[in-house]
Structure 1
Amino acid sequence: MKILIKCTVILLLLTTYVHAQEGPVQTKSFTKTFAADNSDKLMLSNQYGSIQIKIWDRKEIKADVDIKAYSNNDADAQKLLDEVSIEASKTGDQIVFRTKMDQNNKSWGNMTRNGKKWRREVKINYIVYMPAGNALTLSQTYGNVTMGDLSGALYAKVQYGNFIAQNLANTNNYVSVQYGNTDIQSLNGAVIKQQYGSGLSIGNVVTLNLDAQYSAVKIGTIKENAIIKQQYGSGLTIGSVNNLELNAQYASVNITAIKGNAKITQQYNNLFIGTVGKLDLTAQYTGASIGTLNGDGKFNMDYNKLSIEEVTNGCKALNIDGDYLGITVTFNDNYNADFDVRTSYASFKYGEKTASKTVGGNESSTSKQYAGKIGSGGGATVNVKADYGSVTFK
């Protein structure tokens, strides 16, 4: 049975001419409404303006578009306005609103020439009303996107503009922002790509796959698992995460708590982790500071330093391989383990909780091996290999 879909079309092509301090302005507006059921998908494509998504409880999708053209004279402003149109259609389950412009006209801008203000540009601003559960695909270039709560799947690509959203409840969200800011209060599952701009801010997220370049990233809570790649920028800050796979380059990393396990690769800058379960860290030219290690630890590091403030009884195997590295490890008072430390051009110091002896008896050699116990020994193993640098047990 075919259902006849009724759509209401209101085309407002009321063109007005306004003289203001900013120069002549020509305007027109466009409105169109489509009936929509739960399976319908919405696609928006715009440039030189903005998209604002508003959620309502009607089974309709409506777009109100305001178009303004600016120039230094009336005729040219009207010419710019005439070059802009809105394509609106529904085919099957696909509803489309698309901005169409004359691509041959490239002489646009807003500047001062020889002491005189010159302006030639258009602004195309969408306000779109839609049900929360419909899938949404949008593209915005040179402008911002704002939206409230959305439970449908989302694919959003923003270039030279900001993306701001409240709650994105679907497990299928893709957000790509270039040369802009991303601010999301909460979301379920997401793949996010952030390049350049003022940064990315997320309140809380369930699962996350993030690729960030030349941007600051700040995330409150990652409830489950995250895969993150961070390159350059002012750094990555995370409040808490369950399990984490991280690759960071030329960016500082600050994580308050990793509740589960983490595999981290980092090059340059600093790494701070407040608490972590099991940790596998590979780093170069990185200063790593670990507060509490509650699980097994594997560290392969070159240059700079490694500091672990507390190794708890949950760590049954601790392995450290360092070149040109200052290593300082503090063990919990109740921690018991057997250890093996091998050094080459590196010193080894230890406190009262550690009993050590030199293996091989060659005290004058630049390469030495030490074996002994932390606490009463047994229960866990600690292995350290250090070429140049220093090793300190506390």
Structure 2
Amino acid sequence: MTTFIDKGVAAPKDYFTGTVWVNMNVIPDEGYNINMGTITFEKKARTNWHSHTSGQILFVIEGIGYYQELRKPIQLIQKGDVVKIPKNVTHWHGASHDSAMRHIALVPEFDKDTTDWLQAVSNEEYNTFKAPVYEVENKLTPAAIMNHEELWPNHISKVKETDPDLIEIFDNFAFDEVINHDTIDVKTRVLMIMASTIGSHALNEYRLHVNAALNVGISPIEIKEVLYQSVPYVGISKVIDFINATNEIFIERNISLPLESQSTTTPENRLEKGLAKQKEIFGDQIDKMYKNSPKDLLHIQHYLSANCFGDYITRNGLDIKTREMITLSFLIALGGSENQIKGHITGNVNVGNDRNILINLMTQLLPYVGYPRTLNAINCLNEILPINNNNNNNNIN
């Protein structure tokens, strides 16, 4: 069990709100040109707005707290977090509503530093954000709770009541460990997971993620475009249930139907525009596919150009980089589509989604599609984009 140092002395009320304790660890008189102390904030306690000409670094060692820079939203900080505060940036930090917080604060270049103390953080400012309560009985981490709440505010899980062990394992993994692997933005992450639920034929999970998409600001058109794009990859016989579920959710949330059309082609030009879109994504390889196709299968190449790409991929509502990531999400979730996964890994690279982006995508899909499908996709990635050899990026198999 970790033992923390004594709280120290009470912090000056002129610069802090609530009960705050300061214990200086290093002072300039000891020969170090830094000022470093351990600060303990009781619940709801915080600093005033202030800035440092030399900047500041915070090491959170206990509890849950908040950090905010001027004109930016409040951030949750917790044990293990390091906050690097730039020079002359006005900010404040302190404990959350329901938890004390302790951090080590370090100011470098102390001989040059000036701290500019400003007004107190008002209750109105402080209350614009509230961290979810740490659920000790289920051992969910604060980050897992916060990330889950971002998608489904105040959602009560029935599975949590019947299978708390499973929720503890899954939520801590999917909503803390996996999300914190990379910086993929929440909208992109939700769209890709939503696409994977269609590929997995997981209707209940899809319903949850449509609501999550709307909750984080994804538009109804973007949701419908993911759904429409799934048809040539998953098949209408499976997608029709997802269309009905989407329409039910939209009606429940007072979203008028039908949505504005995003089509950009006509029956006369769908083949031409679809072929152009294929070549934009896959380059000269499309000409080779046409040339090498047996005559009795040439109609399939025409269908791919006119229908898959002309009717669907040319539509507005999503940019081409997003569409290629969505297609890859369908294919990974479907399973047994390794040849198509390899082709669309190349397609992703050609439109600007590099190896790192695709690794992040596969990582975020992992909790929802499982290890076998994810590892198969990683094998495809390593074959097309070997980590030490990026000269094969334009190959398509």
Instruction: Settle same-fold status: TM greater than 0.5.
Output: no
- Larger helix proportion, structure 1 or 2? 2
TM-score (norm 1): 0.27
Q: Whose strand proportion is higher, 1 or 2? A: 1
Larger radius of gyration: 1
TM-score, reference length from structure 2:
0.27
Using CA pairs below 8 Å that are at least 6 residues apart, which structure has the higher relative contact order? 2
